[in-house]
Chains A and B, each alone.
Chain A
Amino acid sequence: MSADLSRDLQERVAEAAAAGTQLAIAGGGSKAFLGRGERGVPLNVAGHRGVVSYEPRELVITARAGTPLSEIENLLAVQGQMLPFEPPHFDCPLPSPLMKPLPFGIPLAGEGDKVALRPHSIATLGGTIACGLSGPRRPYAGSARDHVLGVRLINGRAEQLRFGGEVMKNVAGYDLSRLQAGAFGTLGVILEVSLKVVPRPAEEITLVQDRYAADSLAYLADLARRPLPLSAACHDGDRLYLRLSGAATAVAQSRSQLGGELLADAGAFWRDKIKEQGHAFFEGGAPLWRLSLPPAAPWLPLPGKFLLDWGGAQRWFRTEAPAELIQQATAKAGGHASLFRGGHGEVFQPLPPAMLALHRRIKHAFDPQHLFNPGRMYASL
Chain B
Amino acid sequence: MSLDRASLINALRALLPEDAVLEQEEACRPYECDGLSAYRQLPYVVALPHSVDEARAVLKLCHEHRIPVVARGAGTGLSGGALPHAEGVLLSLARLNRILRIDPAGLTATVEPGVRNLAISEAAAPLGLYYAPDPSSQIACTIGGNVAENSGGVHCLKYGLTVHNVCAMKLLTIDGELLELGGTALDAPGYDLMALAIGSEGMLGVAVEITVRLLPVPERAQVALAAFDDVEKAGTAVGEIIAAGIIPAGLEMMDGPAIQAAEDFVHAGYPTDAAAILLCEVDGTNQEVSEHIARIRQVLEASGATEVRTARDEAERALFWKGRKAAFPAVGRISPDYYCMDGTIPRRHLPEVLRRTAELSREYGLPVANVFHAGDGNLHPLILFDANKPGELERTEELGGKILELCVEVGGTITGEHGVGIEKIKQMCVQFQPEELNQFRAVKQAFDPLELLNPGKGVPTPRHCSEYRALPHKHTHEHS
With both chains docked as a complex, state the minimum distance between the C-beta of A157 and any C-beta of chain B, in angstroms.
8
Q: Digit string of B197-221 for contact with A (CB within 8 Å is 1, else 0)?
A: 0111000100000000000111100
List, in ascending order, chain B residues with CB within 8 A of A33's CB: none
Say yes or no for B101: interface residue by CB 8 A criterion. Answer: no
- Tell whether A362 pairs with B191 under 8 Å between CB atoms, given A172-B424, A254-B285: yes
Question: By CB atoms of chain B within 10 A, which of A175, A179, A254, A334 has the most?
Answer: A175
Chain A residues, CB < 8 A from B239: 57
Q: Are B192 and A179 in contact (CB under 8 A)?
A: yes
Min distance, Cβ A318 to any Cβ of chain B, angstroms: 20
Contacts A/B (CB < 8 Å), 19 sampled: A132-B187, A160-B435, A163-B436, A165-B412, A167-B376, A167-B416, A169-B161, A174-B204, A174-B459, A178-B192, A247-B285, A250-B287, A252-B287, A254-B285, A292-B187, A314-B186, A359-B191, A366-B439, A377-B190
Whether B413 pairs with A170 at a CB distance below 8 angstroms is yes
B367 close to A (CB within 8 Å): no
CA–CA, A59 and B376, complex, Å: 9
Does A264 reach chain B (CB closer than 8 Å)? no
Interface positions of B from 426 to 456, Cβ below 8 Å from A: 428, 431-433, 435-440, 442-447
Interface size on A, residues (CB 8 A): 86
Residue in B189, B243, B416 with the greatest tally of chain A CB atoms within 10 Å: B189
Pair B191/A182 contact, Cβ less than 8 Å: yes
- Does B52 sit within 8 A of A, measured CB to CB? no
With A313-B185, A336-B188, A365-B442 as contacts: A355 and B285 at CB distance below 8 Å: no
Q: Does B247 contact A (CB under 8 A)?
A: yes
Query: Which A residues from 251 to 281 make CB contacts under 8 A with B?
Result: 252-254
Q: A159-B435, A179-B196, A358-B447 are in contact. Are A169 and B247 (CB under 8 A)?
A: no
Interface centre among A56, A157, A249, A351 (most CB of B within 10 A): A249
Question: Is the Cβ of A358 less than 8 Å from the Cβ of B186?
Answer: no
Complex partner residue of B373 from A139, A169, A171, A228, CB under 8 angstroms: A169
Contact B348–A171 (Cβ < 8 Å):
no
Instruction: Return the chain B residue nearest A291 by Cβ.
Output: B185
Complex-state Cα separation, A55 to B327, whole angstroms: 30
A172 and B415: CB pair below 8 A?
yes
Task: Give the Cβ gap from B17 to chain A, nearest Cβ, in Å.
Answer: 28
Whether A198 sits at the interface, judged by CB under 8 Å, is yes
CA distance A292 to B373 in the complex (A): 35
Q: Are A334 and B185 in contact (CB under 8 A)?
A: yes
B163 located at the interface, meaning its Cβ lies under 8 Å from any Cβ of chain A in the complex: yes
CB contacts (< 8 Å) of A60 on chain B: these are 346
Determine whether A282 belongs to the interface, using a CB cutoff of 8 Å to chain B: no
Chain B contact-residue range equals 35 or more
Q: Is the CB of B179 within 8 A of A354?
A: yes
The segment out of A17-25, A113-121, A140-148, A206-214 that lies at the interface is A140-148
Are A249 and B288 in touch, CB under 8 angstroms? yes
Question: Using Cβ atoms and an 8 Å threshold, which residues of chain B touch A172?
Answer: 413-415, 420, 424, 428, 431-432
- Contact A142 B164, beta carbon cutoff 8 Å: yes
Query: A58-B347, A167-B345, A365-B446 provided; 18 other pairs, C-beta below 8 A?
Result: A159-B435, A160-B435, A161-B439, A165-B412, A169-B156, A173-B420, A174-B440, A175-B196, A176-B439, A225-B216, A247-B284, A247-B288, A253-B285, A292-B185, A294-B183, A295-B106, A295-B186, A361-B445
Top 3 nearest A-B pairs (CB, nearest first) are: A249-B287, A250-B288, A169-B416
Which residues in window 240-270 of B have CB below 8 A to A? Answer: 242-243, 245-247
Indicate if the CB atoms of B458 and A173 lie closer than 8 Å: yes
**B238 CB to nearest A CB, Å:** 8
Among B106, B373, B416, B444, which residue has the most Cβ atoms of chain A within 10 A? B106
User: Which chain B residue has the least Cβ–Cβ distance from A173?
Assistant: B440
Please name all residues of chain B whose beta carbon is closer than 8 Å to the beta carbon of A250 when the two chains form the complex: 284-285, 287-288, 291
Question: Distance in Å from the Cβ of B258 to the closest Cβ of chain A?
Answer: 19
Q: How far is B204's CA from A162's CA once the two chains are assembled, in angstroms?
A: 21
Please name all residues of chain A whose beta carbon is closer than 8 Å to the beta carbon of B346 when the two chains form the complex: 55, 58, 60, 166-167
Q: Is B378 an interface residue (CB 8 A)?
A: yes
B129 at the interface (CB under 8 A from A): yes
Check if B288 sits within 8 Å of A165, measured CB to CB. no
CB distance from B282 to the nearest CB of A (A): 9
Asked if A171 and B216 make an inter-chain contact with CB atoms under 8 angstroms apart, the answer reads: no
